[in-house]
Amino acid sequence: MDLWTIVYDRNWDIYFCKLDKAIKSRILKKIQQLKQDISARHLYQINFFILEVNQYRVAFFENKLTKTRTIVFIGNHTQYEEWYKKYI
């Protein structure tokens, strides 16, 4: 099984930097799981995947050719809805 490379897009942490330390830790552990094959909801309209960590969302893009997953957003559900509306 091949491992995925995790990359962070510019401005991915706009909301993440304001989160509580404990929540940040849980989210970062979940992101580490993205190095392996993991199931996530696929948004076909904008070609992103969404990983849920309680009420928080991690949005990432997947490049199967280079085996790279690029984190583009991390925030709570309300922030996620605002972010998502920019793309549709």
Residue keyed to tokens 């510019």: 10
The pLDDT of residue 45 is: 81
Helix intervals (H) in the chain? 21-33, 77-85
- What mean pLDDT, rounded, does the chain reach? 93
In three-state form (DSSP H/G/I as H, E/B as E, the rest C), the secondary structure along 54-65 is: CCEEEEEEEECC
When pLDDT is cut at 50, 70 and 90, the band that residue 57 belongs to is: very high
Domain ranges of the chain: 5-85
Residue range 20-54, pLDDT digits in tens? 999 999 999 999 999 999 889 998 888 899 999 99
Instruction: Supply the pTM of this predicted model.
Output: 0.90
Q: Which fold has domain 5-85?
A: YaeB-like fold (3.30.2310)
- What whole-number percentage of the chain has pLDDT above 90? 82
Helix (H, G, I), strand (E, B) or coil at 29: helix
